[in-house]
A = this chain, B = another copy of it.
């Protein structure tokens, strides 16, 4: 039992190394431009070993995405827990900004590879995305119930926030970062917080 546990642990270690390497390489170079050779080198395993642990290169992508959406959902839940004050939109977006940077690789893989692998969305992302909408909706609904937010339909607001969160992922993108807006992200996100706050708050 101990032995089999050890083996399993050793197994997970390799898989973990592979997935971590894949997450990074897929994010930086894209899925297609990343070769299994590079994956093996960065994972410090032989190329053949990749295929002992994953059926194909595509399976590795699926695993990275699966793990990724779990992490993103966890992030979101944690953020909403920590920023329980429904007036603290600044805190919320600041958290999100940190998440965007902390999980920069994950986000790139999960969001950018999606359109070309629709079959990978169905099982995994939908479930996670649905959960994200649910926790966001509960968060908003709480704010509305407390008389903090305007009595909008919470589900719709949740979707709006999700789209904004997705939009913020672009921050970690040469498109925006190469601009003459060094660290302007903070300005943007705080202006965004200001606007959203004003737009959501019930003006008594």
Contacts and interface: CB of A to CB of B under 8 A. Distances in A.
Interface in A147-171: 150, 152-153, 156-157, 159-160, 163-168, 170-171
A203 interface: yes
Contact of A159 (B125, B166, B188): B188
A160 B188 contact: yes
A169 to B, nearest CB: 8
Per DSSP, chain A at the interface is helix
Interface residue range, chain A: 35 or more
A49 to B, nearest CB: 15
Contact of A174 (B118, B153, B157, B176): B118
A199 B188 contact: no
Contacts of A129: 175-176, 179
Interface in A111-161: 111-112, 114-116, 118, 121-122, 125-126, 129-130, 133, 150, 152-153, 156-157, 159-160
A173 interface: yes
Interface string A179-198: 11100100110011011111
B121 A178 contact: yes
A200 interface: yes
A122 B170 contact: no
30 contacts: A32-B32, A33-B116, A108-B115, A112-B115, A114-B174, A115-B174, A121-B178, A122-B178, A129-B175, A129-B176, A130-B179, A152-B191, A152-B194, A156-B187, A156-B188, A156-B191, A157-B191, A159-B181, A159-B191, A160-B191, A163-B164, A163-B167, A163-B192, A194-B199, A195-B199, A195-B200, A196-B199, A198-B198, A198-B199, A199-B200
